[in-house]
């Protein structure tokens, strides 16, 4: 693995590394993003952030909000497989945004990158609704990643206010325990917003991704749509996709 670029800003070291055709973003040694345009399925947590989009019919996802851009892996996956009209990415680190644009090619008429504190940006937002909001707000402490915004009632309610009538929030958690302790499953006013909930995981990571939808949905819908796309059909030997999904009680 070679280092293509690095910069120190204060006490933070940023690196872009290359392993074969894959680019990787590290911040203080913490692995934040990976993308290979020739193999857009990562076999890791970023796939889990993408997959819930397939609860929707092709062409019905028009606007997506990504909170926590990093290197932009999930943005590139969405552009490749879902093709929304607009993807808004909000990221606090201007260095991450620079890396996403320069190295991960996250640029184009369909992408708007915003340098802002995600909590402040969401609470002040007054624009068009989003069909999907991906909450991937992570920082790091002592070399380990951790959520930087607690998924409590106030935060989830702020996100839900920005959703369309049948919209969905996809939230990345550091563990299943963190997901199960979140307001999505433990606060009545939040639970009433959503009609369906799902827990996605992969054997390669401890992360647990929750998908919460404002309309009824079934895992069969997602599975049936994935098998129509060769790179996302887990039955194919050539596919790197490996995931588990189960329904959450709401």
pLDDT in tens, 6-49: 999 999 999 999 989 999 999 998 898 999 999 999 999 999 99
- The reported pLDDT for the residue numbered 162 is 98
pLDDT in tens, 186-231: 999 999 999 999 999 999 899 999 999 999 999 999 999 999 999 9
Q: Higher confidence at residue 136 or residue 143?
A: 136
DSSP letter, residue 203: T
* Percentage of the chain exceeding pLDDT 70: 98
Cα 248–221–75 angle (5° rounding)? 85
CB of 174 within 8 A of CB of 145? Answer: yes
Neighbouring CB atoms inside 10 A of 184's CB total: 24
- The reported pLDDT for the residue numbered 143 is 63
152 contacts: CB under 8 Å, gap ≥ 6: 182, 183, 187
Fold classification of 39-247 (topology level):
Rossmann fold (3.40.50)
Q: The whole model's pTM is what?
A: 0.97
Rg of the chain in Å (alpha carbons): 17
Q: Helix, strand, coil: what percent of the chain each, to 5?
A: 25, 35, 40
Task: Spell out the domain ranges in the chain.
Answer: 39-247
């Amino acid at each position: 693995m070679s280092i293509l670029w690095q910069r120190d800003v204060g006490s933070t070291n940023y690196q872009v590394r290359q392993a074969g055709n894959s680019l990787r973003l590290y911040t203080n040694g913490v692995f934040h993003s990976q993308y290979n345009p020739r193999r857009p399925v990562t076999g890791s947590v970023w796939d889990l952030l993408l997959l819930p989009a397939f609860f929707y019919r092709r062409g019905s996802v028009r606007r997506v909000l990504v909170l926590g851009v990093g290197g932009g892996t999930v943005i590139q996956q969405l552009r490749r497989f879902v093709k929304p009209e607009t993807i808004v990415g909000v990221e606090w680190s201007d260095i991450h945004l620079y890396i996403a644009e320069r190295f991960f090619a996250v640029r184009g008429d369909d992408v708007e990158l915003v340098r802002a504190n995600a909590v402040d940006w969401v609470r002040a937002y007054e624009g068009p609704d989003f069909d999907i909001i991906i909450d991937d707000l992570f920082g790091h402490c002592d070399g380990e990643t951790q959520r930087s915004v607690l998924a409590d009632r106030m935060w989830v309610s702020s996100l839900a206010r920005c959703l369309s009538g049948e919209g969905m929030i996809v939230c990345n958690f550091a563990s299943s325990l963190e997901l199960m302790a979140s307001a999505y499953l433990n606060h009545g006013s939040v639970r009433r917003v959503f009609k369906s909930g799902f827990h996605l995981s992969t054997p390669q990571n401890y992360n647990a991704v929750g998908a919460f939808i404002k309309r009824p949905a079934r895992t069969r819908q997602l599975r049936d749509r994935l098998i129509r796309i060769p790179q996302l059909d887990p039955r194919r030997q050539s596919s790197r996709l490996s995931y588990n999904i189960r329904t959450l009680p709401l």
